[in-house]
Each structure stands twice: as C-alpha cells, then as structure tokens.
Structure 1
Amino acid sequence: MDILQFLIVIGVLVLLVKPLGSYVYHVYSNEPNRTDRIFGWADRIIYRVIGLKNRSGMTWKKYALSFLLTNIVLVALSYLILRLQGGLPGNPNNIGGMEQTLSFNTVISFITNTNLQHYSGETGLSYFSQMAVIMMMMFTSAATGFSVAIAFIRGLTSKGTTIGNFFEDFVKSHTRIFLPLAVLVTLVLVALNVPQTFDPNITATTLEGATQSIAIGPVASLESIKHLGTNGGGFFGVNSAHPFENPNPLTNVIEILSMWALPAALPYAYGRFAKNRKQGWVVFSAMMTLFLVFLATVYTAELNGNPALNNLGVDASQGSMEGKEVRFGIAQSALFTAVTTAATTGTVNNMHDTLTPIGGLVPLAEMMLNVVFGGKGVGLVNMLMYAILGVFIAGLMVGRTPEFLGRKIEPREMRLIAIAILAHPFIILVPTAIAFLTDLGQGAITNPGFHGISQVLYEYTSSAANNGSGFEGLADNTPFWNITTGLVMLFGRYISMIAMLAVAGSLVRKQPVPETSGTFRTDNVLFTGILVGTVLIIGALTFLPAVVLGPIAEHLTLR
C-alpha cells in the first residue's frame, strides 16, 4: 500500500511535467502565444505603473544588479514592518514588534526563499505582517529565483547577445505563474477545510473548564504560495504538521505536488529552449534517479524503526512514529520529507529532529547536493552547472575541447563554476565549526553527542541551501544564530546566482560550434549516468567527513 501511494504521486507528477513545462516555456519564450491574450493586459498595466517602457534584453551584469536592487528595497520595507507591527493595523491579537536580530533573520530568510523560522508564526506575527511581509516575499523571492533560472537557460541556449529583461521576467513570474496557481490551490485548500479568515483567535472552553486560545487566520492563501514558491515558512510553528495547515492525506498530496511540480517541469522547459527535448529529459532523469534513492532510504529507515528501541524488544511493527502525525503515517511522512528537501521548500509534516539517524541523513544529504529538483530554478541551475563540469571532465579524459550545447567551455566558465561549487560547502562547514568552538553556538544544542553535531550541521546546511527546515531541537532564536544563519542564507542565495548569471553572460556571447561526429553527446543515457556520478562524487568529497561525524556515527552507536 505504501509503495502504491508513492507510485501514484510520482505518476501524477510525471504527467504534469510536459504540459507545465511547455506552459513555462511559452511564458518566457518572448514569442507571441496564448498566454499573451490571457495575461497580457495585466502585464501592460504593471509595466505602465512601474515605468517599464523599454523591455530590451540586459547584459548579465545589468540583470544581476536589477534583481539585487529589487531585493534590497523589499528587505528594507519588510524590516520596518516587522519592527513596527505592534502599532500597525491588521493586528487583532495585539502582537508586539519583532526583536531586531530576529527581524534581520526573518527578512533575510524570506527574501532568499529560505523561510527558516526562528519564531512561531501564530504568536510572533500579526495578520498584516503575515501578508505584507511573509506572503509578499514568498511571491517575490520565488519570482526572482525563477527569473534567474530562465535567464541562465537563455544564456546556454540563446543565439542572441542578452539573457532577457529581469523586470519583464519578474512581472510574468507573478502574473502568469504564481498568482494564478496560488489562487487555484487556495480555493482547493479552503474546500478541504483549511482556514482562511481575518477573525481574531478563537477562545474555547476546555473539558476541564479552562479557556484556550486557538489561532486561526489567512492560512490557506499562505499555504498555497508557501508550497508553489518552494518557500516553506508555516503560518503555525509546527508547519504542515498542524491540522489547520494540512488536515488530511489529500491536502498532504496536494502540498507535495504543489512544491514539486514547477521544479520538476523546469528541465522540460529547458529542453524546449534548447530545441532538444532529450536534453530536458536527461536532466529530469538524473534528478529523479537521485530522488528515488533518497526516498527509498528514508522510507526504509523509518519503517525499520529505532534500532535502540528494537533491541529492547519494543514492538516496532509500525516503524518509527516518533514526531510523526498518525494521519500521515510512515509513507506520507517519508515522501513529504524527501520532497521538501529535494525541492528545497523547507515545509515539514513531521519533525526531522526525531527521524532515525539514517532517515535524518536523507534531508541533510539532499540539501548538501542541492540539485535534486531544487527550489524555484535552483535545482535546475545547479544541475546544469554539474552538467557543464561533467562535460569538462569527460573532455579532458578523451583529449577534446569540452563543449556544451554547441558552446566551448573555457577556463573563465570553469572558474565561475568552481566558485559556485566550493562556496556551498564553505558556508556550511566553516560556520558549523565556529558554532562548536564558541559557547554561544554550543549553548543551543539540546541533544549532546553525535545528534548535536547533526543539529548544528543541519541548521547551516538548511540555511545555505535556502531550504529552511530544521532539526527543531536546536534552541536557535538567539542573536548568534539569527545573525550567523542570516549571513549564510545571504551568501547561499546570491553567490551562486551571480556566478551562474556570469556563466550565462559569458556563454551567450560565444558563437555556436557546429556539431560533428566527435561531439560529446549530452542527450543520452550515458550522460545521465555521468551527471549522477559527478554530483555524487563532488558531494562525497566535500561533505562525507562531516556526515560521518553526525548521523552515520549516531546510527552506528545506536546499533
């Protein structure tokens, strides 16, 4: 029965890839199509309001500067709202302003599409802040990532000299992708009993006669963009484990598909841009191969239960249910865990801190690799980066000048790719080491020993991968953790994005090289294997020692 659940969800996803990928291609192809007749009027109004008269293509530097300045303005506005929310409207529960380091962490978290939460949503934010800051940045951060991914694809596949116009891509991402889908998913969730209201908290009388305050609010609308934008920040502190956010197995599947469908469709859109759909299916196949390995690992680990409890003779026939909701069970919890970290969403329907050591290794490893579908554009861009690296290595092995999609790969591109590859482990491992060397870092660890290492490693890995989920046993709402994870989220988001835009800008200016019989093919099963192997080898070389000290050591000691 569990395997059947997996097959149905994955089957629905695969059926969505082609139509959704084609739709994404038409949105950003800048060629006349049906989406213009449906959404063109809204785009034109927005262009007129923001004064965008000239939508000509940009160089990579202008594109990068445009999205950076846009993000800076949004960060400044959001920081002020969080600090002043106690005196702003839309606050029926009279929640005060947010502390300064927590405000810094929160705005950085949401503008970088990380949505790491060092606060509890129902007690830390007013309704106005939930909408004007959290939901607003869920849209804009997803639109920014999507736009950069499309610009990178254009750099690899276009025969022009520019990578597009950021503001045009940014507007289209809202009007033609996220807003329509968010409205649709919101209506479905409301129909399935997810709250959507501006009423204050409900005061109820318990069976013992005491009074209890039950938090409600505009939950369904936040849930929709939270998953569609691979954001992950929950309206409630326990996220999608809360019965108001995720009441039943059907809403669980809808949320899984919402966060998975667009990242899975992007490789197909890439194949359409490349005029070779096999290119897209190769990337998709590599991602799916890695995902299935991780899903099988976490499901098997949780199904077999905790080795320490098994050795005591405790009945483990139901698997390890610690930290999981009974309404989801092992299968839906394991699938959600694998998808949320594959798609770098960060939403959780179970507590990752209570997973078995090998089960907890899966979300950690997916975020370390950061290519298994990934968030809005991140997974595809990173996988294409590894594809270029794989072509370069294969070219060196056979003595040929490496080419990718008809363009020569030269030292400049490889230096930029090396920066992007090395920056990820650097901003994870260095802060992790610093946390263990200081009392400020060690004081947050609630579970000493190997699991404590996993808690700290997971926190910085989640921040660097812009995922946002956490081993929630870590006491992380302190100035040390707010500031350090905030900086890691910034570096994790913008170093790789800028480096990859520079690669796109370099490649788009090159004259295509005609394909010959000696050209190394990148649209077949062999290259799928090379791509998967490159990802695993680089990942093992950079992260295996740290993983051995954490979840693997914990697993061995439990046995």
Structure 2
Amino acid sequence: MNIIFLESILMLVVVISTLALLMKPLGLHMFNAFEGNKTYLDFFGKPMMRIYSLMIGKNINENQTAKSYFISLMMFSLISIFVLFLVLKFQSYLPLNPNHIVNMSWDQALNTAVSFVTNTNWQSYSGETGVSYFSQMAGLAVQNFLSAAVGISVAIVLLRSLKKDRNDIGNFWYDLGISVFYILLPLSIIVSLIFVCLGIPQNIDPNTLAHTISQGEQVITQGPIASQESIKSIGTNGGGFFNANSAHPFENPNAITNFIQVISILLIPCAFTYLLGKYTNKLKLGWLIFGIMSFLFIISYSVMSMSELHLLKDSTTHFLSNFYESNSTISNMEGKDVRFGIIHSTIYNTASTAASDGGVNSFMDSYTPIGGMMALINMATGEIIYGGVGAGLYGMLMYVILAVFIGSLMIGRIPSFLGKRIDGKDMKLAMLSIIVPPCLVLIFTALTMVLPEYKNALTNEGAHGFTEILYAFTSASNNNGSAFAGLSSNTIYFNTTLALCMFLGRFVSIFAVIFIAHNFINRKNVRINTTNDIQVTSFVFSILLLFTIVVIGALTFFPALSIGPLLDNFSY
C-alpha cells in the first residue's frame, strides 16, 4: 500500500480522534461556565469578571430581551469597528511602531476593521509591512478575542432557548465576558506557551537586518507572533501576522505546530456539538451533529487531497487504484511548502475553510481546480462543517430547522423541533440566515464581472480568473477570510464591497438566530403533542439533514461552480 495513502488515512484518524477526545471535557467546561456552575478556572475567571463588570459599568447578571441583546451586540460591534478603524488609520502616530509602518488608507482601514470585528480576518495588506506592533496587539489581536466571543455568545443564546429549565435569553455582556475569560484567553495562553517552546517568536523587537553568505542583505521580521497565532487558530480568525500566513516558518515552523493549529481551529466548534447535547439533554443529538460534520469534512479532505495528488486528473482511470500506485513525483506541489507536502497542506486548508478560519499554509490559487473548488464548497455551505466558534453550530441548527420543516411537511405533520413548534416566522428567519450569504456572493460576483476595471485586479483570465472573484466574495460573505491570492483586492471598490459582504453576512445571520431563540423561549409554556415529532436523533433524519445541506448548496452555487472551477478543470 502506498505511503501517501497510509499517511492520509492516519492524518484523518488522528485529527478526528483527538477532537472526539477533547470535545467532551471542553464542552462540559463551557456548559458549567455559562450556567454559573463551579469550574476549574474560577480562580482566574471570577476576579476577571468582577473587574470587567466594573469597567463596563453594567449589571451583567440582568436578563435582557432579544431586542436588547441584539442592540447591545450591534452597538459593541459598531464601536469596535470605529475604534479599530482609528487605530489603523493613525498607527504611525501610535507607540510600538519600531519599523515605522505608515497609516492605512481609509478604505483599507475600513475593510480591515470590518474584517476583524466580523471574525472574517480578510487581509488586503501584508501583515509584516502593513500594521505596527501596536495595531497587531491592541487592535487586531483584541478583536480576534472579541469577535470570536460574539460568535460564542450568539450560539449560547440559541442553546438556552432549547434548555427546558431556562426561560431567558441571558445577558450579552455576561456571555461576552465568560467567552473571553473562561474559554478563549485560557486556551490562548496555553497554546501560546506551547508555540514559543516550539520556536515561534514572541517579542517586540524591530526587524533584523541579516547579512547572507552571498554578501547580500535580508530583513528578518519579528514581533508578537506566538500570541497572535494562538488566538488566530482558537478563535477561528485566520488573520496572519505575515502575508504568507501559516506558510511562514515563524508562524508555523514544523509538522507539530501545523497539527496543533488544525486541532485549535476545530476544537471549540466541535465542543459546541457536545454542548448542544448538554443543553437539550440529548447527547445523542450532539454526537449525531458531530458525525455529520465529520462525514462532510472527510469527503472534502479526501477529494482535495486526491486532486492535489493528481489522482482525479484523468477521469477514465480508477482513482482508488491510482492511490495505491501514486508517488510524490506526480503531486501538485506548486504553492505548497516542502515542510508539509500535500497531506499536511490539504488537512490544514480543509480545516480552515470548513471552520471559518481563513488561515492558509499553502496557497489556494496554485491548487488544482477541483482542490480549490472543495475549499469554495466548504465556505458556500455556510461553513457548518464544524464552522466558526459558535457560528458553526448556529449555522448548522438553521439547516436542522429547515430539514425538520421539510420532513414534517413530507409526512403531513406539524413541524416542531425538540418540543418547540416551528412556524412561518421561524422559517423566514432561518431562510434569511441561510440565503443572505449566497445572495451577496452571487450578486457582487456578477456585478464585478461586468465592470471593465475588474480585469486589472486579476492575475489570471478565463475560468480561473472568474474563480478568483467568486472565491473572494464567498470568503467575505461567509466570514472566512481566506483568498485565492491571485486577486489584487486593495482597491476602493474591493475594500468597500467586501466589507459590506462581511458586515451583512455576519450580522443578518446573528439577527435571525437571536430572534429564533426569542420565539422558542416564548413557546416554552405552550404544551404540544411531541409523540409525532420527527426524531432528530435518528439515522433517517441525519440523511435528510445531509441532503438538505447538499441540495441547497448545489442548487445555489452549481451554476457559478460550472463556469468557474469545473470549467477550469476541463481546460486544466
């Protein structure tokens, strides 16, 4: 059996097994933290929460209405965008700028501010030359924590609405604090220390000018990299300290750090599936959702890996037999680091595009058309294959609600989910959450393609050039942040349109989720007959849910994929 085949199977087994082992203890810790139960981190979290409560001057234990919760979240996010915009626009006048980084233009500062506040982390700048150390630490790293905490908070709101003994939405400021001080910050400290031990730099020194043996000069960029790298992965942010992101040896030195980053990206999203089981008192449901996510992840990773190994290039051959006979000489190593090779590159990029992270350790523009298409599909499904922290779970639950509605109508029953009646308002909100990102993608991709100046931003023509545009708006609208790297996006047009897609793709979905939770809570005292409910923990329902995800994704994006990566594949 070929060594590459064994390596790919072993990689999947190790990654999914590690996630399955870690998701329960982390999920249980998250449940206890949000429910006010005793945890092992109370010695750290409780003092921080008291200081935090005094700083914001609000009673964080007072329950809010759905409207108040959403307004608090939006005001916090808008203020965050404004403050980060000012930091980036005037960074040359701020401290901790030993490399004398200049101010960003207004459109790039706006794009970057919206990007990091929406947990997208799209970068139209080069990290080592575009932002100062102060901007990295006080601006971008802070938003890496806060934007991830917002996603976690929204998911917790939806889970509370499914808990039988909870009749409240909760408090946004409380949820935000718990997310940061009990989950994101402790994990980031641990991972940062591990990264420093494994060779990732952490300092505030200026760039080093090195003299090479060929009598040349080389500028070596340093900085607070380890701390940025840890929350970049744990918060499914993806914004790299360097332009090369995790392909840079300072961000990702070896296969061990690569594996840790993959696990860090997927850990909290997986823990949320166990958290779903705890809140609904149906652990089987949590494991079923984890199984569906893992199934889709395995398919995506397998197809991407086989494509990069050139096993799918000739459709007349049997790819499985080729897998046994293949060797590294036929692999597509363009855009990939020799430290990682095909398998470590595709597992990372599958994780990052499936989990709303956006980090890369190899470059999608150099992938085969089918390999790049799998990354597109991961994002186009709404990034519910694990998904972002919090966002992945509430995105998946929107599909669950849709599948329950479809299944109930097919068999002539009144739609209900875990004893909660699903009515027209819920379906409108769920469909709003599911449909808005694809609409943004397709509308802005079509608009961009008819503008004559779009060609100036492309490094490729034809189907591949179209894919670069499609990928950019898919990444922005689904809050991923990865790019094909062949698109010169630092223009007023792209900075503003992508920022708009990021903003609407994030907050329209959040609006829908919070008010669905509000509807569920208001129906808790309404008794309905649940004996005829669709069994959401059954194998039949899991098949229905899979088909709902695939069919909606296929019907929405298949025409665009046909004239993009699929057409590119036929001319490849």
TM bin, normalised by shorter chain, reads: over 0.9
Q: Which residue does the alignment assign to 2:499?
A: 486
* Pairing of 1:210-225 with structure 2 (within 5 A): 210-225=216-231
**Residue among 525, 550, 554 paired with 2:564:** 550
Question: Which of 140, 145, 149 in structure 1 is aligned with 2:151?
Answer: 145
1:44 and 1:448, CA in 2 relative to 1: closer, same or farther beyond 3 A?
same
Q: Which has the higher mean CA deviation after the structures are superposed, 471-480 or 515-524?
A: 515-524
Aligned to 1:440: 453
1:83 aligns with 2:96: no
Tell me how far apart the structure 1 counterparts of residues 133 and 268 of structure 2 sit (CA, whole Å).
Answer: 28
1:31, CA displacement in angstroms?
3.9
* Letter in structure 2 aligned against 1:148: V
1:110 equivalent in alignment to 2:105: no
Residue number among 498, 509, 523 corresponding to 2:537 in the alignment: 523
CA RMSD of aligned residues (A): 1.8
Give deviations 1:255-278, integer Å, cap 9, x for gaps. Answer: 001111001110110110111111
Asked if residue 317 in structure 1 is aligned to residue 329 in structure 2, the reply is: yes
Over 3 Å counting, the alpha-carbon distance change for 1:513 and 1:327 in structure 2 is farther
CA distance in 2, matches of 1:393, 1:82: 47
Deviation at 1:38, TM superposition (A): 4.8
Which whole-Å CA distance do the structure 2 matches of 1:281 and 1:477 have between them? 43
In structure 2, the residue corresponding to 1:304 is in which secondary structure?
Answer: coil
TM alignment of 1:24-423, pairs within 5 A: 24-53=30-59, 55-304=61-310, 307=313, 317-369=329-381, 370-423=383-436
- One-letter identity of the residue aligned with 2:132: S
Contact kept in structure 2, 1:440 and 1:480, CA below 8 Å: no
Q: For each residue in 1:86-106, what CA deviation from the matched residue of structure 2 results, as whole angstroms up to 9, or x when unmatched?
A: 111100011111111100000
8 Å contact from structure 1 (residues 127, 217) kept in 2: yes
Q: 1:133 to 1:317 in 2, by over 3 A?
A: same
Kindly indicate whether the alpha-carbon contact (under 8 Å) linking 1:441 and 1:481 is maintained by their aligned counterparts in 2: no
Unpaired runs of at least 5, structure 1: none
Report the alpha carbon displacement of residue 443 of structure 1 after superposing the two structures with TM.
Answer: 2.0
Aligned to 1:532: 546
Give secondary structure in 1 for the equivalent of 2:294: helix
Distance 1:555 1:205, change over 3 A: same
Judge conservation of contact 1:407–1:513 (CA < 8 Å) in 2.
no
Matched, 1:509 2:515: no
Aligned residues: 555
**Per-residue CA distance 1:284-342 (angstroms, 9 max, x = gap):** 1111111111111101111126949xx9xx99634111100011011101101110011
Residue 15 of structure 1: CA displacement?
0.8
Moved more, 516-525 or 396-405: 516-525
User: What's the secondary structure of 2:396's corresponding residue?
Assistant: helix
Name the CA distance, whole Å, in 2 between partners of 1:62 and 1:175: 23
Are positions 1:499 and 2:505 aligned together? no
Counterpart CA distance in 1 for 2:40 and 2:251 is 35
Q: CA deviation at 1:515?
A: 5.5
Which AA in structure 1 matches 2:350?
A: A
SS in 2 for 1:546: helix
> Could you tell me how far 1:48 is from its partner in structure 2?
2.1
Letter in 2 for 1:461: T
Contact kept in structure 1, 2:29 and 2:39, CA below 8 Å: no
Cα distance in structure 1, aligned partners of 2:170 and 2:190: 29
* Counterpart for residue 457 of structure 1: 470
Question: Are residues 522 and 82 of structure 1, via their aligned partners in 2, closer, same or farther at CA, if it must alter by over 3 Å?
Answer: same
Residue of structure 1 equivalent to 2:321: none
Measured in 1, the distance between the counterparts of 2:411 and 2:367 equals 44
Q: Which residue of 1 aligns with 2:12?
A: 6
Using the TM superposition, give the Cα deviation of residue 556 of structure 1 relative to its aligned residue in structure 2, in angstroms.
Answer: 1.5
* Cα distance between partner residues in 2 of 1:43 and 1:354: 46
After superposition, the Cα gap between the structure-2 partners of 1:38 and 1:211, relative to the gap in structure 1 and judged at 3 Å, is closer
Aligned-partner Cα distance in 2 for 1:277–1:306: 39
Question: Which digits, 9 at most, give the CA deviation of each residue in 1:333-381, with x for residues without a partner?
Answer: 1101110011110000000111101000111000000211110111111
Contact 1:157 1:405 in 2 (8 A): no
CA distance 1:327–1:168, shift in 2 (3 Å): same
Aligned residue for 1:425?
438
For residues 488-542 of structure 1, the C-alpha deviation after alignment (integer angstroms, 9 at most, x for no partner) is 0001100111111111111111035456432211112222111111101111111
Contact 1:138 1:229 in 2 (8 A): yes
What secondary structure sits across from 1:443 in the alignment?
helix
Q: SS of the counterpart of 2:100?
A: coil
Aligned to 2:322: none
Counterparts of 2:439 and 2:404, CA distance in 1: 24
More deviation in 437-446 or 25-34?
25-34
Deviating above 6 A after TM superposition, structure 1's stretches of 4 or more consecutive aligned residues are: none
Task: Provide closer, same or farther for how the CA distance between residues 4 and 97 of structure 1 changes in structure 2, counting only shifts above 3 A.
Answer: same
TM-score scaled by structure 2?
Answer: 0.94
SS in 2 for 1:17: helix
Distance 2:394 2:287 in 1: 15
1:317 alignment partner, SS class: helix
Counterpart-to-counterpart distance in 1, 2:122 and 2:252: 19
Distance (whole Å) between structure 2 residues aligned to residue 512 and residue 254 of structure 1: 46
Paired with 1:441 and 1:522, the residues of 2 have a C-alpha distance of 46
